[in-house]
Amino acid sequence: MFDKIKIAGILLVVGMVAGLAIVGVHTLTEDRIEENRLAMQYEDYVSIFPDMDLTNYEEKALDQDVLTTRITAYDSDGDFLGYIFIGESASYGGTNRVLVGVDSDGRIVKVILSQTQDTANIVQNVIDILDKFEGQAFGEVDYDAPSGATQSYDSIWRVVDAVSLMIEGDPTQEAFESVFEDADSYDVLFDHEDLAFVEEFNIRDADGTILGYAYEIDVDDENTVFLVVDQDDVFKGFVPKDAVDDETQAMIEAYDDHIDTPLVDIDPDTGDILEDAINDLKPLVETTTRVDYDIVVRYKDYIEDDEVVGVTYIVRTDGYNARMIGEVTIVDDELFSFVIRSHNESADWGAIIIDDGDLQEALIDADNPEDVDVKEYTTFDATSGATQTGEAMQRIVVAALEYHNEEGGQ
């Protein structure tokens, strides 16, 4: 019995001495370890701003596709050093985490690839070129890609580009803000091919309500101007995107008198491209009604022999490659015609199904276009991409019908 107590006692003593030694060393090293851990956590920040005060910085979550966080860095005197933007972007091996440091002059301090799953050789290739971002000013960043590590590099410049947009601001958005104070976002509606303006935009406020519309006019290669109207088609003036030269500025100012008059009442006589744009837009505004819908829809009366006999819906959706726009005419609540007005499908595969016309016919003839099996109308060789093309066409017809039924064909 005594033996056992003795053994237990010895073990206890050994354990206690060991414990004491550990606690002693722990108290000695505790502070330093904490310091080191902090330093590791902020290693990337410190390598961008060596003077950064780690106890005093602001962190703001960014609600964006690419950028996740913005860190506002101050030095120990509380002076503003710059921003660190943290972005995440897909690359070959997984998601790359990229840090972009921006100083108070709006120049890039450093770009860091802080987390990646790409192979070492690819990463090395990318890191070699990260240095060239240093000191570049936004607005004139040189994105020359190296041969080789394409996806890795793409993921990095996407982040730098997003930072650039955030610092420099989006010229399109700024242009809209100069007209509508509440403008918060915009989306592209249609491409126009034969008209004086090339693209049409919805301008929305923070709640998503449409404030107005804009039409992009390329005066020449350097100068771009937006024609802006509000949602009642009242002319709000021409606004420049970016800076424009004096000549264009003069053209714009010539229209200042017309601001706040309905577009249809403007009858300019300047003979320039801006006049063409107004003239091209007038008939569109007069004959069509714009609506906001999941798949963007806009409709106008279908007129035959000067008599309104039906409604034509213009529907935009995404095809296999990019936007596809279709015109669906409905007469007496029945599908009457369906034409694809513009698309970007590849000539060999997607376009074949459109040019073929079989699917359009089938969609019109069907009692319920939703039931049409698109795959039957694609050739065997072209299944994959073309199926998506066909499905986009089907979506257009279905959306037009749905809208027509909901709104009662007004």
Partner 1 sequence: MAEKKVAKNPMKKKKKNGRLDILTKGFIRENPIFIFLLGMCPALAVTSTMETGLGMGLLVILVLTGSNVVVSLIRNLIPEQIQIPAFIVVIATFVTIVGMLTEAYAFALHQSLGIFIPLIVVNCLIMGRATSFASKNKVSDSAIDGFGMALGFTFALMLIGATREIFASGAIALGVYLPLPFEISIINTEMYLFNMDVFAGPAGGFIVIGVLLALFTAIGNYRQKKKEAERQAWIEQKKKEAAERKRKKAMESAGDAS
Partner 2 sequence: MEIVQKSAPHLRKPNANVVRMMSDVAIALSPLVIFAIVQHGMQAFWILLVSVLSMVGTEYVYYQIIDKMNGEKFRINNKSFTIYNFSVVVSGLIYGLTLGDTVPLVVVAIGGIIGVFLAKLIFGGMGQNIFNIAAFARVFVVLAFGGAIAYEAFIDADAGATALGMLAGEARLDGPINDTYSYWTMFSGIGLPGSLGETSALLILVGGLYLFLRKSFDIFVPLTYVGTVFLLSLGVMVSTDAGWWFPATHVLAGGLMFAAVYMATDPITIPTTRPGRIYFAFGLGVVTFIIRLFGNLPEGVVFAILIMNMFVPAIDYHKWARNKFTVKSATIFSLVVIVTIILTAVGVNYV
Partner 3 sequence: MISPTVFFVAIVSSMLINNIVLMRFLGVCPFLGVSRKTESALGMSAAVTFVMLVASVLTYILYYLVLDPFGIEYISTIAFILVIASLVQLVEMFIKRFSQKLYKMLGIYLPLIVTNCAILGIVEINIRENYAVQYGFGAGLAVAVTSALGAALGFALVMFAFSSIRERLDAATVPESWKGVPISLVVAGIMALAFLGLGGIV
The answer to the question of residue 152 lying near partner 2 (CB under 8 A) is yes
What residues contact residue 218 under an 8 Å CB cut-off, 6+ apart? 198, 224
152 binds, among partner 1, partner 3, partner 2, none (CB under 5 to 8 A by kind): partner 2
Q: How many CB atoms lie within 10 A of CB 131?
A: 10
Q: Which residues contact 287 (CB under 8 A, 6 or more apart)?
A: 300, 301
Tell me the per-residue interface mask from 84 to 103 with partner 3, x by CB under 8 A, - otherwise: ---------xx---------
For residue 18, state whether it binds partner 3 (rule: CB under 8 A): yes
Is 93 a residue that touches partner 2 (CB under 8 A)?
A: yes
Least distance from partner 2 to the Cβ atom of residue 278, Å: 42
Annotate 245-275 with b (16+ C-beta within 10 A) or e (fewer). Answer: eeebeebbeebeebeeeebeebebeeeebbb
Beta carbons of 261 and 235 less than 8 angstroms apart: yes
Long-range contact pairs involving 190-195 (C-beta distance under 8 Å, separation at least 24)? 190/314, 190/316, 190/323, 190/325, 191/323, 191/325, 191/342, 192/280, 193/342, 195/277, 195/280, 195/281
Candidates 12, 14, 26, 309: give the one binding partner 3 (CB under 8 A): 26
For residue 1, the Cα-to-chain-centroid distance in whole angstroms is 80
Q: Is 22 in the site for partner 3 (CB under 8 A)?
A: yes
- Alpha carbon of 115 to those of 89, 94, 96, 375: distances in Å? 11, 10, 6, 43
Residue 308 near partner 3 by CB under 8 A: no
Out of 104, 119, 209, 289, point to the residue binding partner 1 (CB under 8 A): 119
CA angle 301, 307, 312 (to 5 degrees): 20
Taking residues 380 to 409 in sequence order and writing x for each that binds partner 2 by CB under 8 A, - otherwise, the string is xxxxxx-x----------------------
16 binds partner 3 (CB under 8 A): no
Nearer to partner 2 by Cβ, of 191 and 345: the residue is 345
- Residue 381, contacted partner among partner 1, partner 2, partner 3, none, CB below 5-8 A by kind: partner 2
Q: Can you tell me the distance from the alpha carbon of 326 to that of 315, in angstroms, rounded to the nearest whole number?
A: 5
Q: How many helices (H) and strands (E) does the chain have?
A: 10, 15
Binding at 173: pick from partner 2, partner 1, partner 3, none (beta carbon under 5-8 Å per type): none
6 binds partner 3 (CB under 8 A): no
Site size toward partner 2 (CB under 8 A) is 26
d(C-alpha 272, C-alpha 255), whole Å: 12
**Which window, 14-22, 159-167, 183-191, 228-236, contacts partner 3 (CB under 8 A)?**
14-22
**Among partner 1, partner 2, partner 3, none, residue 109 binds (CB under 5-8 Å by kind):** none
Tell me if residue 297 falls in helix, strand or coil.
strand
Distances from the Cα of 314 to the Cαs of 19, 207, 317, 401, in angstroms? 79, 25, 10, 11
Closest separation between CB of residue 117 and partner 3, Å?
A: 8
* Nearest residue (CB) to partner 1, 20 versus 303: 20
Q: Which residues bind partner 1 (CB under 8 A)?
A: 3, 6-7, 10-11, 14-15, 18, 21-22, 25-26, 28-29, 32-33, 36, 39-40, 119-121
| Residue ranges binding partner 3 (CB under 8 A) | 18-19, 22, 26, 93-94
Contacts with partner 2 by CB under 8 A lie at 90, 92-93, 119-122, 124-125, 147-152, 154, 346, 348-349, 380-385, 387
